[in-house]
Structure 1
């Protein structure tokens, strides 16, 4: 079964390709920077910037699109996404923006068309949320943050 995510090109971005999978086995598809033509956006160490992608999306009800960092940018430049993974809800129709953060030691430069993030579409059903007096017991219990060891 093939699912469809419908992408709408934002005005002024005819030169950018529709988000696409780089290889047949890729889990995520690439988003590119829709920065102004001929301009370079510089992100200083410790700074963050919202980078437009030039696209909006329509997803089926019950799904979300996760916006994730690209491993190459993280490993080579220390660049990530502030709220990784970011979520695009199925009812959002605005332009997809990626909030990049430079955790590296040098300025990072973003140019139009650079691959800046990857998207993964995942099921996100709405659940019935109820308050209860007690929760069932487990072996772990309330142990958290390192309670199971290194």
Structure 2
């Protein structure tokens, strides 16, 4: 087995859709939401209050900035799937073209990178999550089984004379930077 997707064991298999390519020449595999999820709009009170204050060149407290950040913080939408691949590959998670255009949803980091050693990690079994931010005016309700992003298997190259990292992955989402 070179690369592919599997269901995460903590989900009912009937609730999780394995990623699929929509057309014969599609590069990306559509990722589906594993459960219903509401993504609140960023245009909420705390964020708007800070924007108004900044526009008026007023002082903004740390507490107000923290409240605004809580509204702007992306949400992790679970997919219920994990990806296995060769050690010199990664999965690139990208927006679907309809996400920003039709629904106001974006990946705030532009893309996601899932390393080969994320698969079956002890923290979350390697489940793929999609970071989403809703810049639409209304909250957006993601339905279980809705396509939320796409995953593309990609090879990568190593630099000449690199110092081989000794660290092994010890955690789940966002753990390689620790």
- Shorter-normalised TM range: 0.7 to 0.9
Matches within 5 A, 1:1-150: 4-11=2-9, 12-15=11-14, 16-35=16-35, 40-46=36-42, 47=72, 48-93=74-119, 94-128=126-160
* Inter-partner Cα distance in structure 1 for 2:93 and 2:132: 11
Q: Structure 2: 5+ residue runs without aligned partners?
A: 43-71, 120-125, 163-178
Bigger fraction of residues in helix? 2
Secondary structure at 2:91 match in 1: strand
* Inter-partner Cα distance in structure 1 for 2:107 and 2:145: 17
Q: Which residue of 1 aligns with 2:49?
A: none
- Please give the TM-score of this superposition, normalised by the length of structure 2: 0.64
* Inter-partner Cα distance in structure 1 for 2:26 and 2:127: 24
Structure 1 moving runs of 4+ over 6 Å: none
Q: Structure 1: 5+ residue runs without aligned partners?
A: 131-150
* Inter-partner Cα distance in structure 1 for 2:114 and 2:32: 16
RMSD: 1.7
* Inter-partner Cα distance in structure 1 for 2:138 and 2:3: 36
* Inter-partner Cα distance in structure 2 for 1:88 and 1:13: 23
**Contact 2:108–2:131 (Cα < 8 Å) also in 1:** yes
Secondary structure at 1:18 match in 2: coil
- Listed one character per residue, the Cα deviations across residues 83-126 of structure 1 (whole Å, up to 9, x for unaligned) are 22100001111111111111111111111111111011111122
